[in-house]
Structure 1
Amino acid sequence: MRKRLVFDFRFDPLEKKMSNNNVITFSDVLDAKEKISPYVHECPVVTSSTLDKMVGRKVFFKAESFQKTGSFKARGALNAVLSLVSKSPEVHGVVTHSSGNHGQALAWASNMVGLDCTVVVTKNTPKSKCEAIKAYGADLVFCEPTYADRIKTCNKISEERSIPYISSSDDYDIMAGQGTIAVEFLSQVPDLDAVIVPVSVGGMAAGIATAAKGIKPAIKVFMVEVEGKMSEECLRAGERLWPNPPRFLDSIADGIRVQQLGELTWPIILKLVEKEVFSVKDADIVKAMKFVFERMKLVIEPTSAAGVAAVMSQRMASMDPGLKNVGVILCGGNVDINHLPWY
């Protein structure tokens, strides 16, 4: 078993704790920020005058591609494991399933606090992400390339090894950690009118919406999805319309292929996130990814490019011109440079 580091938590419990109310609050996000800030990066905000002219708005990119482990996932993962070891000091390990970024983040966070970590990935997960997960010290377990098999394998390991499962998104500690992105972003760019967030199960969207609305109630939070996710249809109906069992969508944006929003993230998103959802095609993602590589000189993965594609879309062009300052989350940079999606 790894040697466990000792962390000094100097933060005061605030009102409406999620453990008592089964919700995430702005106070939870502030607590998470105080816990994780010494160990994660405050990622920069970057701009492109070329893109601003193209879209007729000021666009600000929060570059979480520079975050520890190469994605925003480090925030939620660290908050989750710190919360876990403070509540259950006897725990010896954790397990999760992941498309790659959460697996890397949880492996890194677990190593920070001396926990063993097992990550279940599908057999078609990019090699670069698998190698990174192992490099951060986790055990890797492969399963068939379906969402249902990923869950089944993860649950089996959790039971056999008596270790808790930490979701990539559908977990209040994870959401609170991801919400710290918005706290930083709005301190860097206070005049943001809207934020665009790529969405899979919805942990980042729920956390950012909670924090952003806590700071600036009038701000709008929009989600961007890959085609077939049905988020706008579900949000406008006010109910979960997705078919079961949960499945992966066919997209190069492997980080947002899960069709359904989470059971815990869904009510938060339904309450706080705009009903208009940007839906992007692979061709849009490739175009946006190329733009960022060539013109902004940043390495981003297809999931990040989904947010760029949204701001470049016709739907954004037709939106309220009052949304002058738009933020976009570049959520990760873990792309396999030997297999770029335009080759």
Structure 2
Amino acid sequence: MTDSAKNTPDVAKAYARIKPYIHKTPLLHSNLLNEMLGSKIYFKMDAVQKTGAFKIRGVLNHLLVLKEKGKMPKKIVAYSTGNHALAMSYAAKLFGIEARVYLPENVSPIKKRIAKYYGADVVEVATRQEAEDAAAADGQNGFYYLHPSDDDETIAGAGTMCYEALLELNQTGEKTDAIFGPCGGGGLLSGSYLAKELLRPAAQLHGVEPRIANDAHQSLNSSEIFRFTHSPETIADGLRALSISSRTLKYLRNLDEFHLVDEEAIRYWTAWLIQMMKITCEPSAAISMAAAHSWLQHQPQNKVILILITGGNIDPEFYQELSTLDLFISA
């Protein structure tokens, strides 16, 4: 039995732990899309989760485990490209603790505004590396450092998104063939691997990255972890991680396939989901549909696909731009 298999029950425990604090998010589908692709595509909509993204799941599980142990910190700190900051700020307000988040200047403006609204001390710095360094330094100076993905309890919490979706699909009798999820720091895919091993081991798990932000892909094809020196300027702002961790790499090695997606396809599928399904989703989430679309071109029909729509915190101006974009590519 592998180490990751031994840890599989943690996702179920995490789900029971955080369930009172989160929304049970819906599974949506599009008859039009299913007819076009000859398969059943289900979208797990954590874009409508509290704080607008799946990240709250990992943060809550992490903090609630500390609370169970009588070790709830008084001050927490993190760096983020946005959604982790929102989750941490929300959870800090919920539990009455102090939060500080370091955000690089290229973070989406709406994410900065919401983090401040929740009451966090938002500190803007020039680069992602500066944000990471500053958060780590505070972690050595009175703050509890809450990493976005490099933690077992955070991974288990992140995995509850996939776990919740598979529970519902299993109850309806659907046999999921493949699951597609984005890769930033790798925490979501790590937790999703644990979830699918518990509820649907036969399902394939596919990781997805922007082609210009392919640190995980390079790490998977190397003997060491690849790290960017500067945040990649991808439209998928939630996937601008400089690198994955050795912890998440261990899980990512269990993926069935890993896909790289060009910026044009990310933009197109974000616009398609917004216009045709009337949902709000970030490019960092829509990227998974782009990969699934490409993959399905080479598969037999009648597949059952689960797409993890991880977040919906998108700036109004960008949303308006995408809502009027000409859908010039045929699905």
Paired amino acid for 1:235: L
In 1, Cα distance between the equivalents of 2:56 and 2:44?
15
Give the stretch that moved more between structures: 173-182 or 228-237.
228-237
Asked whether the 8 Å contact 1:246–1:260 carries over to 2, the reply is no
Q: Per the alignment, do residues 90 and 179 of structure 1 end up closer, same or farther by CA in structure 2, a change over 3 Å counting?
A: closer
In 2, Cα distance between the equivalents of 1:258 and 1:240?
16
In 1, Cα distance between the equivalents of 2:195 and 2:302?
19
Asked whether the 8 Å contact 1:183–1:211 carries over to 2, the reply is yes
In 2, Cα distance between the equivalents of 1:241 and 1:65?
30
Asked whether the 8 Å contact 1:72–1:331 carries over to 2, the reply is yes
Confirm whether residue 298 of structure 1 aligns to residue 279 of structure 2: yes
Q: Which ranges in structure 1 are unaligned for 5 or more consecutive residues? A: 1-15
Residue 273 of structure 1, CA deviation: 1.4
Paired amino acid for 1:66: V
Asked whether the 8 Å contact 1:94–1:166 carries over to 2, the reply is yes
Normalization by structure 1: what TM-score? 0.86
Question: Which of 237, 248, 264 is the aligned partner of 1:283?
Answer: 264
Residue 232 of structure 1, CA deviation: 4.0
| 1:243-297 superposed Cα distances (whole Å, 9 cap, x missing partner) | x455422201010112422221111221x211x2121111111110111111100
What is the Cα-based RMSD across aligned positions, in Å?
2.1
Residue 170 of structure 1, CA deviation: 1.1
In 2, Cα distance between the equivalents of 1:121 and 1:49?
40
| 1:96-117 superposed Cα distances (whole Å, 9 cap, x missing partner) | 0011101000111122222111
Residue 219 of structure 1, CA deviation: 1.1
Partner of residue 329, structure 2: none
Question: Which of 116, 123, 127 is the aligned partner of 1:134?
Answer: 116
Q: Which ranges in structure 2 are unaligned for 5 or more consecutive residues? A: 326-331
Partner of residue 156, structure 1: 137
Partner of residue 333, structure 1: 312
Partner of residue 5, structure 1: none
Confirm whether residue 65 of structure 1 aligns to residue 47 of structure 2: yes
Asked whether the 8 Å contact 2:228–2:243 carries over to 1, the reply is no
In 2, Cα distance between the equivalents of 1:231 and 1:124?
21
Secondary structure of the residue aligned to 1:78 is helix
In 1, Cα distance between the equivalents of 2:229 and 2:157?
25
Partner of residue 76, structure 1: 58
Partner of residue 198, structure 2: 214
Partner of residue 68, structure 2: 86
| 1:207-245 superposed Cα distances (whole Å, 9 cap, x missing partner) | 0111111222211110010014154454355x3351x45
Aligned length: 316
Normalization by structure 2: what TM-score? 0.89
In 2, Cα distance between the equivalents of 1:304 and 1:163?
31
Partner of residue 10, structure 1: none
Asked whether the 8 Å contact 1:23–1:172 carries over to 2, the reply is no
Q: Percent of aligned pairs with the same residue?
A: 28
Question: Which of 167, 180, 194 is the aligned partner of 2:160?
Answer: 180
In 1, Cα distance between the equivalents of 2:302 and 2:258?
15
Q: Greater helix share, 1 or 2?
A: 2
Secondary structure of the residue aligned to 1:264 is helix
Paired amino acid for 1:273: L
In 1, Cα distance between the equivalents of 2:27 and 2:66?
31
Question: Which of 222, 226, 246 is the aligned partner of 1:263?
Answer: 246
Question: Which of 96, 110, 113 is the aligned partner of 2:95?
Answer: 113
In 2, Cα distance between the equivalents of 1:97 and 1:259?
12
Residue 192 of structure 1, CA deviation: 0.9
Secondary structure of the residue aligned to 2:144 is coil
Paired amino acid for 1:204: L
Asked whether the 8 Å contact 1:110–1:116 carries over to 2, the reply is yes
